[in-house]
Amino acid sequence: MKFVLNNIWLVLAAVVSGGILIWPLINRRLSGVPEVGALQAVQLLNRKEAIMIDVREPAEFGAGHAPNSRNIPLAQLDKRIGELEKFKHRPAVIVCQTGARSHAATALLKKAGFAEVVVLAGGIGAWQQANMPVEK
């Protein structure tokens, strides 16, 4: 206890930095957006004719993406959402590099009327780790 009292600033810095590291995980869980693994995403794509929307930047998309995915960067999604109008009745699997941008995109898609929106947990990295096909 004496250490804590003598080094209160060090302890506070450790607690704050730990909180900053954990916050994205907590925020994802509280968002209420379901996450699916690569296998579940493939099942949605095959069984329910889901659409896969990749919200990464074009250079990231060009480096490797899931087959038949549509690239609409998160920064342009609100302006280009009309391109997805005909897919509102189908499930949407949102993918980015790690999953962070995907969660932001789901709010826009739900607001636009998409009923079933899920995030690919772990992003394109998890897709590749599961040995799913990637196009360049």
Contact 91, 117 (CB under 8 A): yes
Query: Is residue 44 domain-resident?
Result: yes
Q: How far is CA 92 from the centre of its chain?
A: 12
Do 56 and 119 belong to one domain? yes
Do 19 and 42 belong to one domain? no
Segment 57-88, tens digit of pLDDT: 999 999 999 999 999 999 999 999 999 999 99
Distance (Å, whole) CA 60 – CA 73: 10
> In the chain, helix, strand, coil percent, each to 5?
55, 15, 30
Segment 95-104, tens digit of pLDDT: 999 878 998 8
Do 17 and 62 belong to one domain? no
Query: Could you tell me the CATH number of the domain that includes residue 41?
Result: 3.40.250.10
Domain that holds residue 95: 33-129
Kindly report the pTM of this predicted structure.
Answer: 0.78
